[in-house]
Amino acid sequence: MPAHKDILPPELIKDRGSLHPINHMKDSIMNLLISFGFEIVDGPEIETEEFNFDMLNIKKSHPARQMHDTFYVENKSNLLRTHTSPVQIRGMLEKKPPLAFISGGKVYRKDDDATHLPMFHQVEGIYVDENVNFAQLKDLIYKIIYSLFGEEVELRFRPSYFPFTEPSAEVDILSKEGKWLEILGCGLVNPVVLENCNIDSNKYSGLAFGLGIERIAMLKHGVTDIREFYKSNLDFLSQFK
Amino acid sequence: MKIAYSHLVQHIEENPSIEQISDRLFQLGHEHEIDGNIFDMEFTPNRGDCLSINGLLRDLAVFYTVDLHQEVFTEKLNELLIDFENLSESICPQVSFLKLEIDHVPEIYKDSLNNYFLDLGLNKNNFFTDVSNYLSYETGQPTHCYDANTIKGKLLFHEIEKNEGFETLLDKKIALTGKNAVFSLNSEVINLAGVVGGKSTSCSVNTKTVIIECAFFQPEAIIGKSVKYDIQSEASHKFERGVDPDSHDRVLRRFIKLVSEHANIKDMSIISYKSKDNPIHQITVNVKKINQIIGINISEKEYLDYLSKLGFVVEEGFIKVPSFRSDIKTQNDLAEEVARVIGYDNIAVSEINIPKNEKASHKAIENKLRFFLLDHGFYEVINSPFINLSSEEAIRVDNPLDSNREYLRTNITNSLIDNLLFNERRQKDSIKLFEISDVYSSSNGINKKRNLSIIASGRVGLNYEDFSKKINKKYLTTLFQEILPNEVFDFKIVSRDFLNTKIKNEIVTLEVDIDKFSSDILSYNEVSKSPEGFVQFNPISDLPSSSKDISYSIKDFSKTKELQDLLLNYQSEIIKNVYIFDYFKNEKQEEIKIGFRFVFQSKKTTLNSAEIELVYNDIVSQSLRIEGISIPGI
């Protein structure tokens, strides 16, 4: 029998908290992109139509600008940003190429159902330099997807449409259940957008991409209901240590 | 949009399978699902030209030999006499009216018209409307049919801005408000242009004389109308995305041909109004630029071959964009066409090297604070900014989701109080939460702050040192003084008087502008780390939980670890958590007292006491098999 003085008290288990899984996912992606050479820029969540739409080549007639898709505030003088792209615009107006920015944060769209929330998170990136092309964009996207989902993952590029990129693509990965899941949107920066930011589109070209954080966090953690992220339930949050 | 496989493949010489066409559609960027023999298409908003059989075949022609074999009426047509005036040519730069009179209304449809209804499982309306709907499906150009006997008087196209009632041909009564482009007859609105026709002039199953309107409307004048008036309209879906302004003559002649295949036409006449010619957009041939954009190396011949298959015409060094491709304006647009034909997945990657630059750590203070709080058991939360309470500085949302979410929060603390009560209702007795977020207010413009807010209540921790200590102002003050001894923080006690709760624990909160924290915090060495991987989420239970404590007396100290190992690793489907809440070593009496708390919760059902007792008794029984251990009272 050990002497009484040799008996140590039980291990004192101090409860550590946890980062919110969405912020953890956002930080992980942004740290990955920083390692590729991107620099973080921030911008406001309350934006102007000019930065959120006009500068991004989103025409006045575009459905996204309608009251049923975008939250407007203060008698339509401003809006809640519908994507993090206006931050890229602010970055391009401030600095000259070559430039490589990422921005991440909350965005807002007028949706509220089992699969869409009025507030969600995005990470976006832009790289502008001489001779940036679509084949390089593909290389970057492969690197991002492989880092997130492993090199065994099967992915496909589909032509798509975003007013601020041309050509535009959406990227899907093949799930274990054999279903294609949309992961991100990307493309070459539309020359109109470069010119809007006083960048000579004959000399420079750019690539851009954007990821929805909730979608990726749901896939990585196996969360099936997006609303779980925002209930602040300690039984939920304590699982992400 | 639903498109039948058979309606496509009948025009394709190579007779590809549905799977082969599906692969090609994905390559071209046309997302879809297959339901039996039907493609359920979802086109991107820039490809309004594909919203038809012919439109989709134009794209597929780059891979297959396509033969439309759709006959049109080719003979000369008389001029229609109609009292019409276009007062808004900027919205509707061209419109045609075709009048047809038939000898009888056919009851049985033939060939493609019949297959349209049969294969897509659609309901018929009346003959002329049915032909119109089919033609929209075949050509992409919506037309509208008026019963000619109802069109007597002055017909006007104009944009109105007044409140006016309007009954659609689907018997829906709507109140027009704001600006609307309409056709009016003798000052009465008979057609919400590009969206839906009116009941008063609509065709019926008896209509033998019809006036068919075929128009081009500027998308800007149509967008949002179907949503505004809650009308399902395939026509507006097409007009919003842009239709081919040069298609009218062919569409109306095709209309005549289809009608003539089903009835004898007694009389027909047509009139077209066009305020200006449609410009042909031209882009310089520049294969070098295309190769540069995509990062490939194709020849000019190959490049132009792709474009000609897509309907582009090359003349004298210029590429003429076909009238149905209003989305093509620049070299980048053409590059996307080429990339689609090659296939995005077939474009080889080219290594990217972004110049690296060393930058100062982003949000260093904010991140340090997060890990400091994690170390002390705080959980990070994210809340929606939408609230129903208004303060003078709160920014109002012009178009909120509902009246409960009409303003933007001006502080985070109120959200955290809701989070705390939510967790208290789930029997949590140690709650520590924090959130860092931008908050906005309005006074002399929009003001932004980035705040840290924390809330804490209940036990300091769920371990034998902290279990009996309660969170209070002093606890939090001490915590922050450890890392920022020179700063004073304004911790607040939240009154529970209006919180509709019987729990008495003190609620302590703090909300501070992140900018107020000094860089002293950067010297804090955190214990917590970011998780390295991504744990698999284990679904949680919303059913009630209950807890049971067992306190042991240990005389044989060497058995302490054995007991801990047994209890802390005890496996049961209904045990959610177990921890040591009490530990006392009495040297004098040579006794260790140790208390374990078991939290019971099922994912399937609310537990009754018998179910809990069963597991509890097994725990007791197993633990008492260890010699030198007893449970006082048992």
Q: Which of A7, A15, A49, A53 is the best mutation test for B, with the most CBs of B within 10 A?
A: A15
CB A48 within 8 A of CB A111: no
* Residue partners of B68: CB distance under 8 A and separation at least 6: B11, B54, B57
Put simply, the answer to whether B335 touches A236 (Cβ < 8 Å) is: no
pLDDT of residue B135: 97
Grouping H, G, I as helix, E, B as strand and the rest as coil, residue B121 is: coil
Q: Which part of chain B has CATH 3.30.930.10?
A: 364-523
What distance in Å separates the CA atoms of residue B479 and residue B472, rounded to the nearest whole number? 11
Write out the CATH class of domain B546-630.
alpha beta
Q: pLDDT tens digit string along B291-318?
A: 999 999 999 999 999 999 999 999 999 9
Mean pLDDT value across chain B:
94
Query: Does B335 have pLDDT greater than 90?
Result: yes
Q: Which part of chain B has CATH 3.30.56.10?
A: 2-60, 282-345
Predicted confidence band of residue B358 (pLDDT cuts 50, 70, 90): low
Put simply, the answer to whether B381 touches A232 (Cβ < 8 Å) is: yes
What distance in Å separates the CA atoms of residue A57 and residue A55, rounded to the nearest whole number? 5
Positive or negative torsion for Cα B29, B30, B32, B37:
negative
- Which residue type does A88 have? Q
Closest partner residue to A133 (CB to CB) among B293, B399, B440 is: B293
Closest partner residue to B385 (CB to CB) among A15, A25, A119 is: A119
CATH architecture classification, B78-274: 3-Layer(bba) Sandwich (3.50)
**Pairs of CB atoms within 8 A across A/B:** 282
Beta-carbon-side half-sphere exposure of residue B319 (alpha carbons within 13 Å):
26
How many other CB atoms sit within 10 Å of the CB of residue B237? 18
- Whether B448 and chain A come into contact, CB under 8 Å, resolves to yes
Nearest chain A CA: its distance from B288 CA (Å): 12
| Cα–Cα nearest to A195, from A185, A205, A184, A181 | A205
Predicted confidence band of residue B223 (pLDDT cuts 50, 70, 90): confident
pLDDT of residue B310: 96
- Whether B544 and chain A come into contact, CB under 8 Å, resolves to no
Q: pLDDT tens digit string along B501-534?
A: 889 999 999 999 999 888 888 999 999 988 888 8
Query: Does B360 have pLDDT greater than 80?
Result: no
- Whether B345 and chain A come into contact, CB under 8 Å, resolves to yes
Put simply, the answer to whether A17 touches B379 (Cβ < 8 Å) is: yes
Q: Which residue of B has its CA nearest to A76?
A: B398
What distance in Å separates the CA atoms of residue B430 and residue B423, rounded to the nearest whole number? 9
| DSSP per-residue letters across B553-576 | EESSGGGHHHHHHHHHT---TTEE
Number of residues that make up chain B: 634
* Percentage of chain B lying above the pLDDT 90 cut: 85
Choose which CATH entry (1.20.1050.10, 3.40.50.12780, 3.30.930.10, 3.40.50.1110) describes domain B364-523.
3.30.930.10
What distance in Å separates the CA atoms of residue B270 and residue B255, rounded to the nearest whole number? 12
Nearest chain B CA: its distance from A148 CA (Å): 10
Q: pLDDT tens digit string along B371-421?
A: 999 999 999 999 999 999 768 899 999 999 999 999 999 999 999 999 999
Put simply, the answer to whether B330 touches A168 (Cβ < 8 Å) is: no
Nearest chain B CA: its distance from A31 CA (Å): 10
Angle of CA points B425, B427, B428, to nearest 5°:
105
| Cα–Cα nearest to B54, from B140, B133, B119, B171 | B140
What distance in Å separates the CA atoms of residue B263 and residue B266, rounded to the nearest whole number? 9
Query: Does B483 have pLDDT greater than 60?
Result: yes
Q: Which residue of B has its CA nearest to A134?
A: B294
Query: Does B359 have pLDDT greater than 70?
Result: no
Grouping H, G, I as helix, E, B as strand and the rest as coil, residue B2 is: strand
Q: Which of A1, A4, A14 is the best mutation test for B, with the most CBs of B within 10 A?
A: A14
Q: Which of B341, B379, B435 is the best mutation test for A, with the most CBs of A within 10 A?
A: B379
What distance in Å separates the CA atoms of residue B328 and residue B46, rounded to the nearest whole number? 9
Q: Dihedral angle at the C-alpha atoms of A176, B351, A102, A85, nearest 10 degrees? A: -80
pLDDT of residue B224: 84
* pLDDT one digit per residue (tens) for chain A, 241 residues: 455 556 778 888 888 999 999 999 999 999 999 999 999 999 999 999 999 999 999 987 776 777 678 999 988 889 999 999 999 999 999 999 999 999 999 999 998 887 889 999 999 999 999 999 999 999 999 999 999 999 999 999 999 999 999 999 999 999 888 889 999 999 999 999 999 999 999 999 999 999 999 999 999 999 999 999 999 999 999 999 9
Residue given tokens 């003001």 in the structure block: B447
Write out the CATH class of domain B2-60.
alpha beta
Helix (H) or strand (E) holding B164: strand B164-167
pLDDT of residue A4: 56
ipTM: 0.95
Grouping H, G, I as helix, E, B as strand and the rest as coil, residue B383 is: coil
Q: pLDDT tens digit string along B125-134?
A: 999 999 999 9
Closest partner residue to A118 (CB to CB) among B398, B401, B440 is: B401
Q: pLDDT tens digit string along A155-187?
A: 999 999 999 999 999 999 998 888 899 999 999
Helix (H) or strand (E) holding B464: none
| Cα–Cα nearest to A29, from A141, A148, A130 | A148
Predicted confidence band of residue B439 (pLDDT cuts 50, 70, 90): very high
Tokens standing for B41?
Answer: 């298409």
Residues in A touching B31 (Cβ below 8 Å): 158
CATH for A17-233? 3.30.930.10
What distance in Å separates the CA atoms of residue A169 and residue A191, rounded to the nearest whole number? 16
- Whether B106 and chain A come into contact, CB under 8 Å, resolves to no
Write out the CATH class of domain B282-345.
alpha beta
- Whether B231 and chain A come into contact, CB under 8 Å, resolves to no
pLDDT of residue B476: 95
pLDDT of residue A199: 97
Q: What is the mean pLDDT of residues B273-295?
A: 94
Residues in B touching A68 (Cβ below 8 Å): 224, 227, 399
Q: Which of B27, B398, B409, B528 is the best mutation test for A, with the most CBs of A within 10 A?
A: B398
Predicted confidence band of residue B139 (pLDDT cuts 50, 70, 90): very high
Closest partner residue to B382 (CB to CB) among A37, A138, A230 is: A230
Q: B376: which strand partners?
A: none
Residues in B touching A220 (Cβ below 8 Å): 534
Q: A124: which strand partners?
A: A103, A210
pLDDT of residue B615: 96
Q: What is the mean pLDDT of residues B477-487?
A: 90
